[in-house]
Chains A and B, each alone.
Chain A
Amino acid sequence: MTADELIDGYVADVVMLLPRKQRRDVAQELRMLLSEEVDAAASEQASPEQAARALLVSFGRPADVAARYGSPVTLIDPADTRRFLTLALAGAVLIPFGAVLNELIDHAGPQRDLGRAVDKAWPSVFAWLGLLVVGFAAAAWARRRRPDARWKPHPVPTDRINRPGRTAAIIFFVLGTLVLTNPAGLIRVVSGGRAASAVYRAFAYDEGFLRLRGPVVLGLMIAGLIIQATLLWQGRWRPWIRQAEMVNGLVTCIVLTWAVGAGPVFTATPTDRTVKGAAALIVLVTLIDLAVRARRYHVRQAVEIRE
């Protein structure tokens, strides 16, 4: 190829990426400038073609040069990239994990195919990524329309707790634990003993669950209650309470996954599926909550909040 052909090809690749109204003008100027540079660079040692090749390589990728000619539209603000990647990765991990939990709930031992469950989750992962792109692009567009938007001051959450709120939560948690320990007792109290036997059967625990998984889950719930009661007594978060709660949360997720996958919880299938579905949701929400809390705690440590 001659030097002129090389320059023409390069200029075409640059202006192809420019707005239509800019193309002719930039092409004319760029072509002229490149020709002059090649004429100056060509010598007895380097032919015009060699000089053109070297010049065009040093000029840069046509896409990069085109970007420098104007203000390229960014879909996602560079400032949002880290957050986008975090959410994308979280979705890419949690969605297949949710599919695995679903497979554990839907099928008993030999019929399970966890690999197939993960494969079927991929369209949902891509849908999540697409949703993120749309969401962040919309946010970037909204921000460009309000360039004067300012940061709004807000207090950083402290280590103090809301005692009345925490007390109410503990009472609710205790009542919930009592109900789960003895659902038949609640039915008897609510119905005055007049409920049909089918209702009691619907909430009967599986013997296998009661032998091992049940006591372990109950133990973890009690441990969680003790941590909350300690927090209430202390009146504020301490590092060791945070760590205890995070460990308890993580262990709870592992145990609930095991409880869901190792066999029936209730003898009645509809009740079993419903409770397992709720447990799977708790696992996913808890994992997200643990990650968010760990990040916030790390930020507080870095900033060294004064109280």
Chain B
Amino acid sequence: MVSSAEDKLEQELRRGVVVLAVLSQLRTLRYGYELRQSLVGSGLPIEEGTLYPLLRRLEAQGVLSSEWRTTQGPPRRYYVLSA
């Protein structure tokens, strides 16, 4: 019971900070996978199915802007905070 309540608390806390955490990591251009690894490394694991659609939604709202870039390997979509 207690661990379930703790899990739920962690879930709620994570839900509350995920957007802020994502925005805080996008002062520079980053693509989705790189961003997720950065957040995991900072102690905030985010499910892929949550993060990648979130980036699109934030872009649709005008909070982020994006562009396709081909550096090393296949083209990737990079995101950054809108000016």
Contacts and interface: CB of A to CB of B under 8 A. Distances in A.
Interface string B34-70: 0000000000000111101110110010000000000
Nearest to A25: B77
A60 B49 CA distance: 6
Contacts of A68: 49-50, 53-54, 57
B60 A59 contact: no
A32 B74 contact: yes
A69 interface: yes
A56 to B, nearest CB: 9
8 contacts: A29-B32, A29-B76, A33-B33, A33-B48, A34-B48, A59-B47, A65-B49, A68-B57
Contact of A58 (B47, B52, B77): B47
A92 interface: no
B77 A70 contact: no
A80 interface: no
A54 to B, nearest CB: 12
A26 interface: yes
B57 A70 contact: yes
Interface in A27-83: 28-30, 32-37, 40, 55, 58-60, 64-65, 68-70
Contacts of B52: 29-30, 33
Nearest to B61: A71
B75 interface: yes
Contacts of A36: 33
Nearest to A29: B77
Contact of B75 (A28, A34, A65): A28
A272 B83 CA distance: 80
A169 B58 CA distance: 61
Contact of B56 (A26, A40, A59, A60): A26
Interface string A225-250: 00000000000000000000000000
Contact of A64 (B49, B57, B74): B49
B56 A58 contact: no
Contact of A32 (B49, B50, B53, B75): B75
B23 to A, nearest CB: 17
Contacts of B76: 29, 32
A63 to B, nearest CB: 11
Contacts of A64: 49
Sorted nearest first, the 5 A-B pairs with minimum C-beta distance are: A68-B53, A60-B49, A59-B49, A36-B33, A69-B53
